[in-house]
Amino acid sequence: MARTGAEYMEALRERPPNLWYKGEKVEDPTTHPVFRGIVRAMAALYDLQHDPRYREVLTYEAEGKRHGTSFLIPKTKEDLKRRGQAYKLWADQNLGMMGRSPDYLNAVVMAYAASAEYFGEFAENVRNYYRYLRDHDLATTHALTNPQVNRAKPPSAQPDPYIPVGVVRQTEKGIVVRGARMTATFPLADEVLIFPSTLLKEGPGSEKYAIAFALPTSTPGLHFVCREALVGGDSPFDHPLSSRLEEMDCLVIFDDVLVPWERVFILGNVELCNNAYAQTGALNHMAHQVVALKTAKTEAFLGVAALMAEGIGADAYGHVQEKIAEIIVYLEAMKAFWTRAEEEAQENAFGLLVPDRKALDGARNLYPRLYPRLREILEQIGASGLITLPSEKDFKGPLAPLLDKYLQGATLDARERVALFRLAWDMTLSGFGARQELYERFFFGDPVRMYQTLYQVYDKEPYKERIRAYLRAALGVFAQEEVEA
């Protein structure tokens, strides 16, 4: 049943994740200065599900209860569009800057459950886990890649075979796993999902790494080791994004952790791991959420850029208009990908309606290349205005009247202009902004490998045949002309 923000925060207090920050265990993330901002931002998303204005978009009824729309198994294109609307509504609340809101992984678990036959002997585990997440409306995180010890060698050839997460042994109660994964974004979750990510090469010993499972983030022996925080401070004026949306990224360590049998989804099958996302439709549904999220993020860049230019009178210049128009083109491209993905949806082999992969592949391959340019455009429009940014305390200090005079804009008073430019700074030049760019570059993995995969899976034959036919016709005309000559 759709939970409230208070229920989410209470769960964190009662069963906090095993979270380590600068060598100390975080006992209560709801009050910790690094984590309390993102906890409240997440709680606000859950509360939105109960707002009468958004209830029909963000929830649906099943078995007499209201559940989050991201758990809805789509049967029609209208269902798919409803899911897209829910994604966008949540994304808009945080300007598309929250990359791991629960709907992202809910989409994966939903697709797995709808295609549960793919998982063979563990099919019922997948279905039960989906119902468990849905009925409790839990927040999830996941950890994808292996530690960067030696990328030139397979998991089994690392200095220790349990640097990557692998199965140590099987018991009557479940499997015992050891190793680590990076990077888990948003550890302030109820559950962590260890699913297949990068291609696992077949070879001696590879089966121990072919696993998929889920655990509570409070499980004994499971540790989340955090990077240094990017929270600039508590003031939403000074740090409008980082004070609220520092999701945190962690190394996840499994120190001989028991995974109960009912939480195991794949075990020892390399082929099943490597094809899980694509064949179940999970890849398509993840990307569907992502294209809605990136649309919201691009809209935020457009809004900030247009307000900045207008606020300092720079919108009269042709080169500034060109830059803002460039953002408009990017936005319309993302919206077109999104629309086509829904309109050309088809059922997969398990009867699950999935958004069109070709459109989504276009979006998820293009956006990592667009995002650095979006950031650059804000920097070019803001220029030195992104550096000359007094704090909230300065506007309350003795020099406030002077700041009001010298920092006003063409259409904004000084406080409004500085607040706007501080938002642009937090999107671009702050530690939070820099992390956003790195995040976008590798959101779906190595961009080069993604392009290689696109090359391999995309059906190029119709276009090749069109050229062959054209050349045959052209050569035929040339030959006929020679005969006639």
Is 448 known as a binding-site position?
yes
218 within a domain of the structure (yes/no): no
Is 206 known as a binding-site position?
no
In the three-class reduction of DSSP (H, G, I as helix; E, B as strand; rest coil), residue 214 is classed as strand
Distances from the Cα of 310 to the Cα of 95, 291, 416, angstroms: 20, 28, 13
Is 197 known as a binding-site position?
yes
Is 159 known as a binding-site position?
no
Give the per-residue pLDDT at 198: 66
Is 104 known as a binding-site position?
yes
149 within a domain of the structure (yes/no): no
212 within a domain of the structure (yes/no): no
> pLDDT tens track of the chain, all 485 residues?
999 999 999 999 999 999 999 999 999 999 999 999 999 999 999 999 999 999 999 999 998 899 999 999 999 999 999 999 999 999 999 999 999 999 999 999 999 999 999 999 999 999 999 999 999 999 999 998 888 888 778 887 788 899 999 999 999 999 999 999 998 999 999 999 998 766 777 677 789 999 999 999 999 999 999 999 999 889 999 999 999 999 999 999 999 999 999 999 999 999 999 999 999 999 999 999 999 999 999 999 999 999 999 999 999 999 999 999 999 999 999 999 999 999 999 999 999 999 999 999 999 999 999 999 999 999 999 999 999 999 999 999 999 999 999 999 999 999 999 999 999 999 999 999 999 999 999 888 888 888 998 999 999 999 999 999 999 898 886 666 666 66
Least Cα distance to 138 among 67, 51, 61 occurs for: 67
Q: What CATH number did the domain enclosing 436 receive?
A: 1.20.140.10
Is 423 known as a binding-site position?
no
Is 446 known as a binding-site position?
yes
384 within a domain of the structure (yes/no): yes
DSSP secondary structure letter of residue 141: E
Number of domains in the chain: 1
Is 296 known as a binding-site position?
no
What's the rounded Cα separation, in Å, for the pair 51 and 375?
A: 33
261 class by beta-carbon count within 10 Å (0-12 exposed, 13-18 middle, 19+ buried) = middle
Angular region, 192: left φ>0, alpha ψ -120 to 50, beta rest: beta
What's the rounded Cα separation, in Å, for the pair 94 and 264?
A: 34
Domain that holds residue 283: 279-464
What's the rounded Cα separation, in Å, for the pair 442 and 361?
A: 14
Is 103 known as a binding-site position?
yes
Is 100 known as a binding-site position?
yes
Is 463 known as a binding-site position?
no
Is 185 known as a binding-site position?
yes
Least Cα distance to 147 among 165, 135, 130, 129 occurs for: 165
228 class by beta-carbon count within 10 Å (0-12 exposed, 13-18 middle, 19+ buried) = exposed
Give the per-residue pLDDT at 446: 83
Is 102 known as a binding-site position?
yes
pTM for this prediction: 0.94
Is 39 known as a binding-site position?
no
* Spatial CB neighbours of 201, under 8 Å, sequence gap ≥ 6: 154
Is 419 known as a binding-site position?
no
379 within a domain of the structure (yes/no): yes
**334 alpha-carbon distance from chain centroid:** 15
Is 131 known as a binding-site position?
no
177 within a domain of the structure (yes/no): no
396 within a domain of the structure (yes/no): yes
Is 447 known as a binding-site position?
yes
**288 alpha-carbon distance from chain centroid:** 11
228 within a domain of the structure (yes/no): no
